[in-house]
């Protein structure tokens, strides 16, 4: 897939359009001029979500009814799709070639992977950031997984609510177990599917992982099930079923669902050490990029094309040596967009790329 | 101080109790009513009144009916050995439209949902069990109970709960299949539905 052109209307402070390069695009400008807003627009066009806010209303230009982001995506030599996300209040209207589409259908049109400071949570934050990284990666190659995740979350929510009221009303252990049974039965089958999908996805990441892309340390990843050491993970369904039965009392006492894939983690280590605890901030950034690149490669294996790679404020997060290695690796693979506020960055990396100066939200192609 | 005079505020308040109606919509409905001719409003009130006066839950199946037991429960044309359980009366209507089910119904008026405070006691399930004895079913033994609750996690939990109660009684409990809408092209079926359809495939 190739984003040929991107336009924004009443979205943040943006105006005008970007005619993109299929390789590297550098969005260059002072802070506050709107470089990141352009990446946000691309992210919106691809995922229908902003990476800055969950309230899309905030992104519409003040005083305007409708915010629009629109782009031409070349699907093949002869097929180009015109994508549009129109924002009105907090609701959005998605269309492809002028025809309204459901989110589910729309999502296959354009895929993007983002590197920014929020994504650093994956390597230094809580397990939920890493589970989300895995789940998003799986959904990108297997869209029906969305339903499994949402059913699972619903079951956990219902279970928590049930356990809470069991606690409030002093239900007996037996009664609680009885009431939990229909939810636990679904939990077993949904958690088994999630466990299997995540283990398989981590295996796939592992086969393409560029373990030493940025240095001497070797990055390794492993899916860490919360049921590890509790029995045979090879028969996950039987194991979790047994654990759920065994832990009813603990769940009742805590008032929370304690067993399931919502307690799992992705273990990331460098030379065998826990990256989150012992990694320097540079090592964490390198590891994050290695993970994102692996994600991109798995996506390519599955779909035969690369997603867009969006790198926000790349020079604040990475030194030039790493940036050079990264861009070299991505060259000829992904269509890449980076933002920077440094002249030296442009000087060093602009060969073979398009550079856009962003002033007051407006992009101007740099002639060199 | 109230934003509106008391009777108007009271009406808005009543509308807000309806499902899916927020403050804005309640105001719109109230002002719509205020602008209607008196006869129209009286007809509306009459309809509300009548529905509460004349419509009751069927003692046997919990269907909404103006004769008790309802027409389904007393019809000699219905097969009495199979009972189909649904969540809501409109689910019954949808199944009836197919004309392919000739058995009896049982309506739960809800599905298990701890979030909404709906547990087994809140479902209209207790009166299902007496129906399973031939002496309460015109001498006919119930051979099968079809659980046609919705394909949501709540509907599944409800189906599962019912199966746990009925199976020890030696009754065959079945669940309706979920999957492809008939008459649709494979190409236009979303992945989730396709996934369900593949999971529920059968031998031909
Ligand atoms: Zn009836």
Instruction: Report the residue of B116, B157, B180 to disrupt the A interface, i.e. the one with the largest count of A CBs within 10 Å.
Output: B157
Q: Order the strands of the A2-9 sheet from edge to edge.
A: A17-19, A2-9, A66-74, A80-88, A91-96, A99-100
Task: Give residue B168 CA to ligand 1 midpoint distance, Å.
Answer: 25
Size of interface A-B (CB pairs under 8 A): 50
Task: Choose which CATH entry (3.50.50.100, 3.20.20.370, 3.90.1150.10, 3.40.1360.10) describes domain B64-175.
Answer: 3.40.1360.10
CA of A103: which chain B residue's CA is closest? B190
Q: Residue B200 in 3-state DSSP?
A: coil
Residues in chain B with CB shorter than 8 Å from the CB of A181 are 160-161, 164
Cβ(B49)–Cβ(B42) below 8 Å: no
- By mean pLDDT, which of A150-154, A313-317, B181-185 is the weakest? B181-185
Q: Which pairing describes strands A308-311 and A273-274: parallel, antiparallel, or unpaired?
A: unpaired
Q: Which comes out higher in pLDDT, residue B192 or A363?
A: A363
- Dump pLDDT digits (tens) for A171-181: 999 999 999 99
Q: Please report which confidence band the pLDDT of residue A315 belongs to, taking 50, 70 and 90 as the band edges.
A: confident
Q: Do B156 and A104 touch (CB under 8 A)?
A: no
pLDDT value of residue A40 = 96
Who contacts B79 (Cβ-Cβ below 8 Å, separation ≥6)?
B102, B103, B104
Q: Residue B78 in 3-state DSSP?
A: coil
Q: Do A182 and B164 touch (CB under 8 A)?
A: yes
Beta bridge partners of B65: B56
| CA B149/CA B146 separation, integer angstroms | 9
The mean predicted confidence, pLDDT, of chain B is: 91
Cα B37 versus chain centre, distance: 34
| CA B153/CA B159 separation, integer angstroms | 10
pTM for this prediction: 0.87
Q: Do B154 and A161 touch (CB under 8 A)?
A: no
Residues in chain B with CB shorter than 8 Å from the CB of A155 are 153
Q: Do B119 and A157 touch (CB under 8 A)?
A: no
Cβ(B72)–Cβ(B134) below 8 Å: no
CA of B161: which chain A residue's CA is closest? A182
Q: Do A179 and B119 touch (CB under 8 A)?
A: yes
Q: Do A104 and B114 touch (CB under 8 A)?
A: no
Angle between helix axes A173-208 and B153-166 (nearest 10 degrees) is 130
Task: Give residue B133 CA to ligand 1 midpoint distance, Å.
Answer: 16
Who contacts B72 (Cβ-Cβ below 8 Å, separation ≥6)?
B58, B61, B63, B78, B92, B104, B105
Q: Do B158 and A161 touch (CB under 8 A)?
A: no
- Dump pLDDT digits (tens) for A40-87: 999 999 999 999 998 999 999 988 999 999 999 999 889 999 999 999
Nearest CA to A336 out of A366, A300, A308, A304 is that of A308
Q: What architecture is the A127-268 domain classified under in CATH?
A: Up-down Bundle (1.20)
pLDDT value of residue B13 = 94
Is the CB of residue A26 less than 8 Å away from at least one CB of chain B?
no
- Dump pLDDT digits (tens) for A246-270: 999 999 999 999 999 999 999 999 9
Measure CB to CB from residue A182 to each of B112, B115, B194 and give the nearest one.
B112
Quick check: B52 pLDDT over 60? Answer: yes
Task: Give residue A300 CA to ligand 1 midpoint distance, Å.
Answer: 58
Nearest CA to B80 out of B127, B133, B126 is that of B133
CA of B160: which chain A residue's CA is closest? A182
Beta bridge partners of A310: A114, A337
Q: Please report which confidence band the pLDDT of residue A104 belongs to, taking 50, 70 and 90 as the band edges.
A: confident
Is the CB of residue A310 less than 8 Å away from at least one CB of chain B?
no
Task: Give residue B106 CA to ligand 1 midpoint distance, Å.
Answer: 7
Closest CA of chain A from B1, distance in Å: 31
Task: Give residue B86 CA to ligand 1 midpoint distance, Å.
Answer: 13
Q: Which pairing describes strands B172-175 and B144-147: parallel, antiparallel, or unpaired?
A: parallel
Q: Is the alpha carbon torsion for A53, A54, A59, A62 positive or negative? A: negative
Measure CB to CB from residue A186 to each of B156, B194, B195 and give the nearest one.
B156
What are the Cα distances from residue A95, in Å, to A47, A73, A82? 13, 13, 8
Angle between helix axes A127-141 and A173-208 (nearest 10 degrees) is 70
Class of domain B6-54: mainly alpha
Q: Do B153 and A159 touch (CB under 8 A)?
A: no
Measured at the CA of A342, the angle between CA A341 and CA A348, to 5 degrees, comes to: 135
Beta bridge partners of A80: A74
Beta strands in B16-81 (DSSP E): 56-57, 64-65
CA of A143: which chain B residue's CA is closest? B191
Who contacts A213 (Cβ-Cβ below 8 Å, separation ≥6)?
A286, A289, A290, A293, A325, A326, A329
Complex confidence, ipTM: 0.83
Closest CA of chain A from B196, distance in Å: 10
Number of C-alpha atoms within 13 angstroms, CB side, residue A263? 11
Q: In chain A, what are the domain boundaries? A: 2-111+307-365, 127-268
Task: Give residue B114 CA to ligand 1 midpoint distance, Å.
Answer: 28
Residues in chain B with CB shorter than 8 Å from the CB of A158 are 113-115, 153-154, 157
pLDDT value of residue B1 = 57
Quick check: B188 pLDDT over 70? Answer: no
pLDDT value of residue A26 = 96
Mean per-residue pLDDT, A109-129: 94
Asked if the A2-111+307-365 domain carries CATH number 3.40.50.300, the reply is: yes
- By mean pLDDT, which of A184-198, B45-59, B169-183 is the weakest? B169-183
Quick check: A105 pLDDT over 90? Answer: no
């Amino acid at each position: 897939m190739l984003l040929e052109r991107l336009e924004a209307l009443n979205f943040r402070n943006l105006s005008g359009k970007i005619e993109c390069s299929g390789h590297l695009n550098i969005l260059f400008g002072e802070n506050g001029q709107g470089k990141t807003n352009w990446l946000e627009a691309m992210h919106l066009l691809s995922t229908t979500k902003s990476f800055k806010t969950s309230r899309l209303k905030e992104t519409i230009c003040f005083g305007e009814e409708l915010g629009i982001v629109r782009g031409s995506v070349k699907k093949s030599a002869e097929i180009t799709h015109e994508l549009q996300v129109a924002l009105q209040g907090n609701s959005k209207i998605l269309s492809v070639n002028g025809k309204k589409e459901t989110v589910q259908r729309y999502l296959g049109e354009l895929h993007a992977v983002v590197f920014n400071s929020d994504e650093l949570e994956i390597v230094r934050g809580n397990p939920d950031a890493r589970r989300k990284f895995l789940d998003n990666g799986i959904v990108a190659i297997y869209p029906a997984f969305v339903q499994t995740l949402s059913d699972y979350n619903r079951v956990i929510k219902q279970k928590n609510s049930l356990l809470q009221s069991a606690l409030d009303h002093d239900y007996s252990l037996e009664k609680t177990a009885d009431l939990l049974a229909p939810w636990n039965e679904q939990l077993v089958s949904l958690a088994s599917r999630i466990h299997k999908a995540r283990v398989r996805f981590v295996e796939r990441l592992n086969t393409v992982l560029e373990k030493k892309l940025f240095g001497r340390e070797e990055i390794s990843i492993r899916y860490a099930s919360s049921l590890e050491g509790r029995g045979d993970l090879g028969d996950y369904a039987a194991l979790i079923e047994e654990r759920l039965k065994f832990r009813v009392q603990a769940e009742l006492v805590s008032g929370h669902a304690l067993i399931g894939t919502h307690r799992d983690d992705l273990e990331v280590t460098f030379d065998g050490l826990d990256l989150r605890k012992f990694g320097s901030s540079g090592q964490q950034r390198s590891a994050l990029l290695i993970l994102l690149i692996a994600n991109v490669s798995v996506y390519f294996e599955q779909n035969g094309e690369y997603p867009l790679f969006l790198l926000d404020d790349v020079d604040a997060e990475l030194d030039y040596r790493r940036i050079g290695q990264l861009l070299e690796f991505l060259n000829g693979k992904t269509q890449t967009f980076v933002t920077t506020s440094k002249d030296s960055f442009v000087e060093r990396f602009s060969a073979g790329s398009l550079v856009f100066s962003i002033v007051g939200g407006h992009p101007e192609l740099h002639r060199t | 101080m109230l934003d509106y005079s008391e009777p108007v505020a009271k009406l808005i308040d009543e509308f807000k109790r309806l499902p899916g109606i927020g403050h804005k919509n309640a105001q719109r409905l109230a002002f719509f009513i205020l602008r209607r001719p008196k006869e129209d409003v009286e007809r509306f009130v009459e309809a509300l009144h009548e529905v509460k006066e004349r419509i009751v839950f069927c003692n046997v199946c919990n269907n909404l009916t103006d004769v008790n037991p309802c027409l389904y429960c007393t019809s000699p044309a219905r097969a009495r050995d199979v009972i189909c359980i649904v969540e809501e009366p409109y689910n019954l209507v949808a199944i009836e439209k197919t004309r392919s089910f000739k058995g009896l119904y049982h309506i739960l008026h809800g599905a298990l949902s701890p979030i909404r405070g709906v547990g087994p006691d809140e479902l209209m399930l207790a009166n299902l069990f007496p129906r399973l004895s031939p002496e309460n079913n015109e001498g006919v033994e119930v051979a099968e109970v079809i659980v046609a609750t919705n394909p949501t996690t709540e509907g599944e939990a409800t189906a599962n709960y019912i199966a746990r109660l009925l199976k020890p009684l030696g009754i065959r409990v079945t669940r309706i299949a979920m999957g492809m809408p008939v008459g649709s092209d494979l190409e236009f079926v979303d992945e989730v539905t396709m996934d369900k359809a593949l999971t529920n495939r059968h031998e031909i």
